[in-house]
A and B are shown apart, each in its own frame.
Chain A
Amino acid sequence: SQTIHQWPATLVQPVGSPLSLECTVEGTSNPNLYWYRQAAGRGLQLLFYSVGIGQISSEVPQNLSASRPQDRQFILSSKKLLLSDSGFYLCAWDTGGRLTEAFFGQGTRLTVV
């Protein structure tokens, strides 16, 4: 069966510090991978998606970047965090076919102080 792992669950970081959130998927190959951010009143904002290794599409200009070094690994990074980067970050995957179901990780609650 397929599973998705996302860590850490919670993170408190000072302004200006770097960030690295990791997401890995098991039990499937060549998934589409997504990073979303959930902030109060803004729903699920798509940040990045990837259809393959090294292929990253950015949806929102921002202080963050994403990388996909392996087929089932998706990393969200920042060199210098801003207060506005606080939020609930969710990784997700789907198979990329029609009528696909996306599976979400448990999320990372990031607080920038």
Chain B
Amino acid sequence: QQQVKQSPQSLIVQKGGISIINCAYENTAFDYFPWYQQFPGKGPALLIAIRPDVSEKKEGRFTISFNKSAKQFSLHIMDSQPGDSATYFCGSLFGNEKLTFGTGTRLTIIP
């Protein structure tokens, strides 16, 4: 059973557009929500993360929006570029010791 539910499974966005990936969780004990980026044949790497005491965090073209009451958070990629084509995973951390992930979103940026 997934701790977080991620959608969509795949996403195609035109270069320069906005890519949006969504995640929903059930366990209110989660207190850390990271997003990881994975290129083919490589291990995932941390992209950006948020705590539930803030509603938004922005780093460059990447923004996490967090809705605590709805138990949802999303990743927005502004001005999407071909180099952003990768698989993205949302995650949740429970009790500082169990990092679990959503099912992933394969993002393709087309020219």
**Interface hits, B37-69 → A, CB 8 Å:** 41-46, 49, 51
Set of chain A residues within 8 Å of B93, measured between Cβ atoms: 100
Q: Pick the residue among A51, A104, A105, A106 that contacts B97 (CB under 8 A).
A: A51
Given A98-B31, A102-B46, also A41-B41 (CB < 8 A): no
**Interface hits, B14-44 → A, CB 8 Å:** 31-32, 34, 36, 41-44
Residue of B nearest to A34 (CB): B99
Q: How large is the interface on A (under 10, 10 to 19, 20 to 34, 35 or more residues)?
A: 20 to 34
Q: Pick the residue among B41, B51, B99 that contacts A94 (CB under 8 A).
A: B99
Residue of A nearest to B104 (CB): A43
Set of chain A residues within 8 Å of B36, measured between Cβ atoms: 102
Q: How large is the interface on B (under 10, 10 to 19, 20 to 34, 35 or more residues)?
A: 20 to 34
CB-based contact A44/B101 at 8 Å: yes
Give A34 to B100 CA distance when docked, in angstroms: 10
**Interface hits, A70-98 → B, CB 8 Å:** 90, 92, 94, 96-98
Q: Pick the residue among B97, B99, B103 that contacts A41 (CB under 8 A).
A: B103
* A-B residue pairs, 4 tightest by C-beta: A104-B43, A43-B103, A44-B101, A43-B104
Task: Give A residues with C-beta under 8 Å from B.
Answer: 32, 34, 36, 41-44, 46, 49, 51, 57, 59, 90, 92, 94, 96-102, 104-107
B6 touches A (CB below 8 Å) = yes
Give A105 to B46 CA distance when docked, in angstroms: 13
CB-based contact B98/A97 at 8 Å: no
Set of chain B residues within 8 Å of A92, measured between Cβ atoms: 43, 99
Residue of A nearest to B100 (CB): A46
Nearest chain B CB to A96 CB, angstrom units: 5
Give A43 to B34 CA distance when docked, in angstroms: 15
Q: Pick the residue among B6, B41, B96 that contacts A43 (CB under 8 A).
A: B6
Set of chain B residues within 8 Å of A94, measured between Cβ atoms: 99
